[in-house]
Structure 1
Amino acid sequence: MKWEIVTTEAQLQQAKAIRHRVFVMEQGVSEELEHDEYDKLSEQCTHILLYEGNEAVGTGRIRKVNEEVGKLERICVLHEVRGKGAGAVIMQALESIASEQGLHETKLGAQLQAKGFYEKLGYETCSDLFMDAGIEHVLMRKKL
């Protein structure tokens, strides 16, 4: 699997289509909650696509919160490639981008069912349980 930074509107639409399949169709998140003001090409947010062969199968983004911290968001992979390490590749890519941007920490809102996955990658829980889009989450962070 390989990844690349989203640089075109067409790639951004592919990322949004993957998110739609995972978050809206599979998990029942409303379209209004799934899309936000960061769903565009900008300096504040870097989107990536993960490919298996020539097919886009996963996505994620990093948003610079301040000069020290980046927030990892909208991380997902298509059902067909889960369990093949795709999520870890996306996380490594986003952390690499964070380091290149001079950030020293990443944080994310983890769905409770994915908490163990993020713990294996070195993330620590730093909040109580909270609801986001009707799904249980915890805030997690990692020093880079």
Structure 2
Amino acid sequence: MTITIAPTRDIATCRHLRRVVFIEEQGVPEADEIDDRDGDAIHLLATVDGAPVGSARLLLSGTTGKIGRVCVLTPHRGTGLGAALIRAAITELRARGMTTAKLGSQTHAIGFYKRLGFTPTGPEYMDAGIPHRDMTLTL
């Protein structure tokens, strides 16, 4: 099995993965999932044996990089692929001179991000009908 995580310009594939995970599985409204930020973002695509299975979107602002739209298809969850995707995002942000990484974690995933070094900040809030909490990591 060959796992690859790399920046991509294939936004259509990333959007397809996000559609499966966020819109179809989690019931996020399409209007909340699809926005006008994809063209400004760095997209990471995770593949297993050449098949796309996960993605993440990075948005840069000053010295802060926001990691978002992180998704992994169901058969590949719990395999370490999600953690590898976040580590690749952190590496990409560092390479671009960012000093802070931030993200909005669904509350059920806070422990996952804590294990990767992120710290929860601020109160819980609703995003697309799902409870979230902001998290940060000093790079």
Kindly indicate whether residue 29 of structure 2 is the aligned counterpart of residue 30 of structure 1.
yes
Kindly indicate whether residue 46 of structure 2 is the aligned counterpart of residue 50 of structure 1.
yes
| Secondary structure, counterpart of 1:107 in structure 2 | strand
Instruction: Indicate the structure with greater strand content.
Output: 2
Following TM superposition, the consecutive aligned residue runs of length 4 or more in structure 1 with deviations greater than 2 angstroms are none
Give, in whole Å, the separation in 2 of the partners of 1:65 and 1:139.
16
| Secondary structure, counterpart of 2:37 in structure 1 | coil
| Residue in 1 that maps onto 2:56 | 60
Task: Work out the number of aligned pairs and report it.
Answer: 137
Share of identical aligned residues, percent? 34
TM-score (norm 1): 0.93
Give, in whole Å, the separation in 1 of the partners of 2:71 and 2:77.
9
Residue 89 of structure 1, CA deviation: 1.0
Give, in whole Å, the separation in 1 of the partners of 2:81 and 2:26.
19
| Residue in 1 that maps onto 2:135 | 140
Letter in 2 for 1:115: I
Unaligned runs of 5+ in 2: none
Letter in 2 for 1:18: L
| Residue in 2 that maps onto 1:108 | 103
Residue 118 of structure 1, CA deviation: 0.2
| Secondary structure, counterpart of 2:22 in structure 1 | helix
Give, in whole Å, the separation in 1 of the partners of 2:50 and 2:66.
28
TM-score (norm 2): 0.96
Q: Deviation string for 1:34-74 (max 9, x for gaps)?
A: 0111122x4xx2001000111000000110022x1100010
